[in-house]
Amino acid sequence: MAKLSRSGKLTTPKRHAIDRRARSLIPTIEGFAPDSLFTAAALAELIAVSEQFLDTGRMRRYAYGPAFLRIGAAVFYKRDDVIAWLQKRARVFEAQRQKAKQAEPRMLHIIRAGAAP
């Protein structure tokens, strides 16, 4: 869910469930023709998320999903936009993972220093 920042603007969540497997999904999407368009149902099935996840991601105030095209009432996702979004999500996941790894040794040091009598 989005959160309000101090300035009162909605911010997107920093982490998504898809982040962990985003890198492994890219080859699946790359297997399609470069000019491919996916419906929300087809994309949801390909990347193993619910259509509701994509629907919510399209909402302006959350805006965490891939870029999309609206033709009438129909919504489509371009192959290249989906790949770019997955790459971005994978980079976010890796950055958070590295940050957590760097913080871990300091925490152990603090615990050990405080626990020693």
Mean pLDDT computed over every residue of the chain: 80
Q: Can you give the residue ranges of every domain in the chain?
A: 16-115
Instruction: Give me the pLDDT at residue 1, please.
Output: 44
CA 62 to CA 83: how far, in whole Å? 20
Instruction: Indicate if the pLDDT at residue 19 is higher than 90.
Output: no
> Between residues 40 and 17, which one has the greater pLDDT?
40
| Residue 98: per-residue pLDDT | 79
Model confidence at 44, pLDDT cuts 50, 70, 90, reads very high
The number of beta carbons lying within 10 Å of the beta carbon of residue 62 is 16
Predicted confidence at residue 97, as pLDDT, reads 78
Amino acid at 98: Q
Distance between CA atoms of 11 and 2, rounded to whole angstroms? 5
Percentage of residues of the chain with pLDDT beyond 70: 70
Would the pTM count as exceeding 0.85? no
Residue-wise pLDDT tens digits, 61-72: 667 889 999 999
Between CA 85 and CA 111 the distance in angstroms is 39
